[in-house]
Structure 1
Amino acid sequence: MEIFPEKLKKIWNVWEIRGLVLSSLSLQVILILFGSRRKTNRAILIRVLVWCAYMSADWVATVCLSALATKDADPEDNSSRSTNSLQAFWAPFLLLHLGGPDTITACSLEDNELWLRHFLRFLVQVGVAIYVYLRTWNNSILLTYLAIPVFIVGIIKYAERTWVLRSSSNERLKHSLLTDPDPGPDVAVILEQNVQHRLKKDTKLAMVVPDEDIKSEKDYLVQGNFLFKRFLYLYTGLILGFYERNDSYSIIHNKSPEDAFKIVAVELGFMYDKLYTKASLVYSCLGLFIRCISLCLLSFTLYAFAAIIDKHPYQKIDIMITYSVLVGAIVLEVYAFILLIFSDWTKAGHNPLRSATCKSCPPHSLLNSRKRWSAVMGQHDLLSVCLKNGAKCIRVHKFFGIHEKLEKFNYKTSAEIQRMLKEKCDKIKDDIYFASSCKELLAQRGDYVLEKWKLLDEFSWCTVDVEFDHSLLLWHIATSICYYNDSIKGTTKNANSRYEISKCLSDYMLYVLVIRQTMLPKGIGEIRYRDTCAEARRFFKQKELSSDNAIKGACRKLLEVDVSSLQLLEDIKGDRSQSVLFSGCILAKKLENLEMEMEFEIGYEKK
């Protein structure tokens, strides 16, 4: 018994390779259009679309090459041989697709670390493509020779991607920043010669950018590029010298909050491009040369193909597909070239196109004023999450082991960064110039504001006396309860008020704890979070509370629980659970007893 009817098999055999080639081209279009959107757009739809396209692109091209390698033509059928020779011409275009667009080479940082595996795949795929090409070699067919320039472009593009993945790996990135070993002065020779040797200290400042107020877009780019190059050292685990720290600080310390955030946006934009795109190669003289050669070779191939195609009896559908992949390759190259010309790298670096770009692109043009980052911060509210009903098909999700991941991202929200928050960051940066000040700031958990109000001893049990993730959860729960409780009184309506900023920062810190765990010190934060959620869900279920509308009522119910002391709570709970739900309620009650101004200033300053 056949599963698929014979007619369906014939249709599949006819359209298998054609469909795969068109699918591969479509995936390249998606990647080049949306690959870099992740940097500025946090929409889950775009992220899922890019992830699916990235994961599918290599697979589709590989399957298509395999199909071409195993397809045999009927030796007595001229039409079949012609179809095979034209379809074999698509093999170098698949190498071009495997090279990927300039806007995305890695979907995650782990992809860069797997560059050696990608290099092996590169060798195999190039070998398969050459095998397909040699199988259909025919000296009498001009199309055979026309594939050579496309092969050159395809192999270069694929090799580019492998080289960029290697260059962006943490080990190679760190190695590229290290200078040659310096043995220092030859002490033995100096002592033998009894010559007084005076060590020369390099007092030259590393400052290469103006530290005055920003007056143009160019200043943002130059200063952001300078900070990016210093940030690379910190990213790879190296340290900055005194003068480099001094120069980096001099750029930021006298800037307004808006200017400082714009510079950091440029800096992180450069960092994103370095790690996830072909920026390390494309924005160089070699990259520019390769783009020009690729465009010329593809244009020549299109012109030559149009000139000879009428002399051979190929099927119209195959001719149309060939035109599609040729034109598609050229359009993608032109689009990538336009992005290259008007990129921040070109305008900030020493690229040969820099002067032409600056002249042709006015300071206030659309290309200069584009968005560089999302300007939002992730949010995660524990109480709101626990009040919502669980996702549908939860058993299916648990079976595949994706339940917790889907739950985290399903309840994640975003909040726009307000001006008052930027001013808060600006206030902090004025106090962190010296290394000792930085260490003190990082070691504090709200000590400064508690000391200001003479409350450090009273609240030390939820700050310095517990682990960081424990303190974070306590203050998040207390902030949420106080916020929703005070919102009933109408004191949290102003979006820029300290109430809103405190809640925004509290939700952001929980977002970091739950979803971006690598940004925080190691601990049992995830276990505490899960236990706290379990206790909160049980409590809300007992009180028959659910849906978003019940959040204020849920906070009131939590405050009504008669837990007078931490000792009583510990005696009841023991060591069985790491939940801090009712410890957070105790903290909320203590904050509620303070004056309203003091209550949210503590929460605002502590964050």
Structure 2
Amino acid sequence: MVFSISENVMKLWDAWNVRAFVILSFLAQVFLTLLAPLRKRLGGIWGKCVYMLIWLVYLLADWIAGLTVGFILSNQLKSPANSGDIQTFWAPFLLLHLGGPDTITSYALEDNEFWIRHFLGLILQVGSTLYVFLMSLPDNKLWLPTLLVLIAGIIKYAERNRSFYLASFDHFGENWVSGEKVAGLHIPEQFKKLEAADLVPSRLEDDAEPSEFFVDSEPDSILQAAAYLFGTIRGPLLGSFLSESQRFTGSAIFGSKEKNCYAKDALLKMEIQLSLLYEALHTKLPVMVSKAGCVSRILNLSCVLGALFSFSLVKKHYELEEFDAWLTYGLLIGALTLDFISIILLVFSDWFVIANFHNLGRLRNLGSILKARRWSNKVPQLNFITYSVKDHPNWLKSLATFLPLRNLLEAMKVIRCLSFQNFGEDSQYWQGIFKDLEVIQQDVIKNKYPEADVGNFAQSLLDLHIVTELSIQRGIQGSSLGRGEEDRTICKLISDYMFYLMMREPVMMSAVSSNWEKVLKDTYEETQSILDRSSVSNENDASSKILSAKFEKGENLKMLSTVEESFLTAINNKATIPWKGLRKEWVQKMCYAARRCRPSVHAQQPSKGGQLLTFIWLCMTNFTMAYQRSPYNY
């Protein structure tokens, strides 16, 4: 039996396929223009849902635009009289859409590496659209607005390809040395302003006080400092090293004159660094802020305005269906509106503010710019004991194995256990982490920091994670007064975060998680054998059962094998434990994982809402420049 489509359906398809796809293409541009900038600020479960939706629309946008040009060309070849000049006029709009919104060029770093493929796509799409236009001549009454939009579309598409080219790692790394031009952002002029303001000395006297040469906490100083630091981190991102002079200069830039603001200013500078990195890799901002970019944008807007004006004149003498007329006006006005929205977003971007600092700085109203949120400010939290308690029933696991849907069931379980902790420059977490980071990084550089054994890292991390949770569930206080509660909170944050990374971010932890699956499986099965003996409804009960199996029943558990017996005894007896030392141990493990994560993986994180581990890596990178002249010893 052959399935046949009715003649009425075919007629409806032929009449509306181009119109429907043109509308879909435009709606995709609206969606990406408005929601793509939220990528670097999205967090939580709903943030991940929006992130996946952006990915889907990003993939469909190019496919819809290219397919619609094919429909128009097919209609012209089948029945030129019926296709009309109006469809020919719509073809350049699809080229304009293929140029994409200014707020997103690439979804992932891999898109930038295929800039040659995108360049070939530019040639093919421009050729197809030009062929559609030439086929409509010489009888095309809308030739002038069509030509103007065609020019605007070529400019837009060329800007996107230029952005791909600049963001590819081969070209992003050209002339990476600090003080040179960085993809349209002129670092030298900005750095000279720092020198002119006596923020950076031309030379350092041996007996000089280091704190005299650190930048202050004013908004203009922080913005310029972040711009310079952005130029320096491109080397470590590409596997290069900094000279000693660059390290010293970085110390003056990354530091702060005021001790109380040192940690806060450091985090803010890193947020701006990562924001600039996101804008350089995933948007058209580096192209738009250049002189050539300004000229192309003015030319683009002029062409679209000219097309709107000429179409309104020609329409009076041209028979056109009312729906097609309104759709065409919507495309023209929509293109102008999206461009103006992009310009507004550009003006409030870090890249534009720094590139035009000599003009905007006079306004002395940069404080509000620093308050903008540049990442999700959320740290994912996943706990092993919670993960063990909230297990699925055996019948559901058997059903999932039979279908098979074990991966889906596992993902649902993780979502049930997953939570997010707010994190920011004013939070109680960063101050303590930053102090330990500075001390640890100095020890690393002086070769006083013992490297962990990669083979035992997964086991020791999971054991330390369980120990931290057991201590918290038992309500154990710290041995030091005053900061004990704060240290315990920081330990809880890092512990649950590191377990989340091992479970859900294997790319970031691949260098230190070689035997993670086996360690997790053995520990999970052992935990379930303990918890299945009785009804356990919460984490506190589970913690008591684990300690009971260890001490009261004297079982030889595989879990906690790397933990000292005296430490476990203190937990079981609810004795005080040194939370400050435990905090430093957690920060050490986080530093170890951050240093072994590939820089290219860190570079991907700003487009995914950001990761605390990336901030740790960036902080250590900046400290590498600053270790010789650190003004404060904690």
Band of TM-score, shorter chain: 0.7 to 0.9
* Contact kept? 1:469, 1:525, Cα under 8 Å: yes
- Tell me the secondary structure at the aligned position of residue 32 of structure 1: helix
Structure 1 residues 289, 427: closer, same or farther in 2, change over 3 A?
Answer: same
Aligned pairs for 1:153-164 (under 5 A) are 153-164=152-163
Deviations 1:123-181 (A, max 9, x none): 2222222222222x2334331232122112212221222222232122222234379xx
Which residue is equivalent to 1:132?
132
1:272 to 265, 275, 278: 278
Structure 1 residues 536, 127: closer, same or farther in 2, change over 3 A?
Answer: farther
Task: Write the letter of the residue equivalent to 2:146.
Answer: A
Structure 1 residues 289, 599: closer, same or farther in 2, change over 3 A?
Answer: same
* Contact kept? 2:105, 2:282, Cα under 8 Å: yes
Which residue is equivalent to 2:501?
512
Which residue is equivalent to 1:245?
247
Please report how far the alpha carbon of residue 562 of structure 1 lies from its aligned counterpart in structure 2 after TM superposition: 3.6
Aligned pairs for 1:334-345 (under 5 A) are 334-345=340-351
Q: Hey, what's the Cα distance between the residues in 2 that align with 1:16 and 1:396? A: 43
Q: Hey, what's the Cα distance between the residues in 2 that align with 1:116 and 1:411? A: 43
Which residue is equivalent to 1:65?
69
Structure 1 residues 74, 504: closer, same or farther in 2, change over 3 A?
Answer: closer
Are positions 1:363 and 2:366 aligned together? Answer: yes
Deviations 1:541-600 (A, max 9, x none): 724657xx5222122222222479999556xxxxxxxxx477679797345158744243
How high is the TM-score relative to the length of structure 1? 0.79
How high is the TM-score relative to the length of structure 2? 0.76
Q: Hey, what's the Cα distance between the residues in 2 that align with 1:400 and 1:301? A: 56
Q: Hey, what's the Cα distance between the residues in 1 that align with 2:484 and 2:120? A: 54
* Contact kept? 2:455, 2:515, Cα under 8 Å: no
Please report how far the alpha carbon of residue 212 of structure 1 lies from its aligned counterpart in structure 2 after TM superposition: 4.0
Structure 1 residues 278, 465: closer, same or farther in 2, change over 3 A?
Answer: closer
Structure 1 residues 17, 140: closer, same or farther in 2, change over 3 A?
Answer: closer
Please report how far the alpha carbon of residue 308 of structure 1 lies from its aligned counterpart in structure 2 after TM superposition: 1.1
* Contact kept? 2:388, 2:528, Cα under 8 Å: no
Aligned pairs for 1:11-22 (under 5 A) are 11-22=12-23
1:468 to 450, 457, 465: 457
* Contact kept? 1:382, 1:533, Cα under 8 Å: no
Aligned pairs for 1:82-161 (under 5 A) are 82=84, 85-135=85-135, 137-161=136-160
Deviations 1:79-117 (A, max 9, x none): x243xx201211111111111112111211222222233
- Tell me the secondary structure at the aligned position of residue 177 of structure 1: coil
Aligned residue pair count: 543
Task: Write the letter of the residue equivalent to 1:237.
Answer: G
Please report how far the alpha carbon of residue 429 of structure 1 lies from its aligned counterpart in structure 2 after TM superposition: 4.7
Please report how far the alpha carbon of residue 256 of structure 1 lies from its aligned counterpart in structure 2 after TM superposition: 2.2
Aligned pairs for 1:411-450 (under 5 A) are 411-417=417-423, 419-431=427-439, 437=445, 439-441=447-449, 443-444=450-451
Q: Hey, what's the Cα distance between the residues in 2 that align with 1:212 and 1:356? A: 24
Which residue is equivalent to 1:455?
none
* Contact kept? 1:565, 1:586, Cα under 8 Å: no
When Rg is computed on C-alpha atoms for both structures, the one with the higher figure is: 1
Which residue is equivalent to 1:374?
376
Structure 1 residues 421, 283: closer, same or farther in 2, change over 3 A?
Answer: same
Which residue is equivalent to 1:228?
230
Are positions 1:604 and 2:583 aligned together? Answer: yes
Task: Write the letter of the residue equivalent to 1:91.
Answer: A
* Contact kept? 2:36, 2:103, Cα under 8 Å: yes
Deviations 1:333-377 (A, max 9, x none): 11111222232112212x4xx455445683345x55322222222
Task: Write the letter of the residue equivalent to 1:234.
Answer: P
**Unpaired runs of 5+ in structure 1?**
180-203, 446-463, 571-579
Are positions 1:561 and 2:565 aligned together? Answer: no
Structure 1 residues 370, 569: closer, same or farther in 2, change over 3 A?
Answer: closer
Which residue is equivalent to 1:386?
388
- Tell me the secondary structure at the aligned position of residue 90 of structure 1: helix
Please report how far the alpha carbon of residue 27 of structure 1 lies from its aligned counterpart in structure 2 after TM superposition: 1.0
Deviations 1:223-276 (A, max 9, x none): 111111101111011111111112212233335221111111111111111122
Q: Hey, what's the Cα distance between the residues in 2 that align with 1:513 and 1:13? A: 52
Structure 1 residues 176, 396: closer, same or farther in 2, change over 3 A?
Answer: farther
Structure 1 residues 597, 231: closer, same or farther in 2, change over 3 A?
Answer: farther
Deviations 1:274-309 (A, max 9, x none): 122223312212222211111111111111111111
Q: Hey, what's the Cα distance between the residues in 1 that align with 2:560 and 2:441? A: 38
- Tell me the secondary structure at the aligned position of residue 524 of structure 1: coil
Aligned pairs for 1:275-290 (under 5 A) are 275-290=281-296
Q: Hey, what's the Cα distance between the residues in 2 that align with 1:394 and 1:428? A: 45
Please report how far the alpha carbon of residue 214 of structure 1 lies from its aligned counterpart in structure 2 after TM superposition: 3.2
- Tell me the secondary structure at the aligned position of residue 104 of structure 1: coil
Q: Hey, what's the Cα distance between the residues in 2 that align with 1:271 and 1:496? A: 36
Q: Hey, what's the Cα distance between the residues in 1 that align with 2:570 and 2:61? A: 54
Please report how far the alpha carbon of residue 26 of structure 1 lies from its aligned counterpart in structure 2 after TM superposition: 0.9
1:327 to 325, 333, 336: 333
**Unpaired runs of 5+ in structure 2?**
179-190, 201-212, 587-634
Q: Which has the higher contact order (CA 8 A, sep 6+)?
A: 2
- Tell me the secondary structure at the aligned position of residue 474 of structure 2: helix
Which residue is equivalent to 1:542?
532
Give the stretch that moved more between structures: 527-536 or 510-519. Answer: 527-536
- Tell me the secondary structure at the aligned position of residue 325 of structure 2: helix
Task: Write the letter of the residue equivalent to 2:378.
Answer: V
Which residue is equivalent to 2:628?
none
- Tell me the secondary structure at the aligned position of residue 378 of structure 1: strand
Which residue is equivalent to 1:184?
none
Q: Hey, what's the Cα distance between the residues in 1 that align with 2:471 and 2:445? A: 31
Structure 1 residues 525, 305: closer, same or farther in 2, change over 3 A?
Answer: farther
Structure 1 residues 566, 31: closer, same or farther in 2, change over 3 A?
Answer: farther
Structure 1 residues 401, 477: closer, same or farther in 2, change over 3 A?
Answer: closer
Please report how far the alpha carbon of residue 215 of structure 1 lies from its aligned counterpart in structure 2 after TM superposition: 4.3
